[in-house]
Amino acid sequence: MEEQQPIESTDIVEEMETSYIDYAMSTIVARAIPDVRDGLKPVQRRLLYSMEELSATPSAQHRKSARVVGETMGKYHPHGDQSLYDALARMAQDFSTRYLLVDGQGNFGSVDGDPPAAMRYTETRLTDISAAMLDDIDRDTVEFIDNFDGTAEMPEVLPSVVPNLLLNGSTGIAVGMATSMPPHNLREVGKAIEHYIEDPEATSNDLMRHVRGPDFPTAGIIVGDEGIEQAYTQGRGRVTVRAKVTREEVRGDTEALVVSELPYMVNKANLVERIASLVRDKVIVGVRDIRDESDRHGMRVVLELRSDARPPAVLNQLYKHTALQTTFSINNLALVDGQPEQLSLRRLVELFVQHRQQVIRNRTEFDLRKAEARAHLLAGYAVALEHIDEVIKINRSANDTRSASNELMQRFELTEVQANAILDMQLRRLVRLERDQINAE
What is the residue-wise DSSP string for 296-363? TTB--EEEEEPTT--HHHHHHHHHHHSTTEEEEEEE-EEEETTEEEE--HHHHHHHHHHHHHHHHHHH
27: which residues sit within 8 A by CB, 6+ positions away?
174, 175
| Alpha carbon distance 401, 420 (integer Å) | 9
For residues 38 and 142, the answer to whether their CB atoms sit within 8 Å is no
Gap between the Cα atoms of 346 and 332, Å rounded: 12
Run of H or E including 132: helix 128-133
196 has catalytic annotation = no
Rounded to an integer, what distance in angstroms lies between the CA atom of residue 42 and that of residue 139? 21
Compute the C-alpha angle 149/150/151, nearest 5°: 95
DSSP labels for 176-209? S-EEEE----HHHHHHHHHHHHH-TT--HHHHTT
Choosing from 49, 85, 99, 121, the catalytic residue is 121
19-23: Cβ within 8 A, 24+ apart: 20/175, 23/175
Helix, strand or coil, per DSSP, at residue 403: helix
Q: Is 394 helix (H, G, I), strand (E, B) or coil?
A: helix
Q: What letter does residue 142 receive in the DSSP assignment?
A: S
340: how many CB neighbours lie within 10 A of its CB?
Answer: 19
Alpha carbon separation from 74 to 51, 68, 125, 220, 263 (Å, rounded): 13, 10, 19, 40, 38
Most distant CA pair in the chain: distance in Å?
109
State how far Cα 193 lies from the chain centre: 18
Identify residue 378 by its one-letter amino acid code: L
Burial class (CB in 10 A: 0-12, 13-18, 19+), 361: exposed
Residues tagged active-site: 121
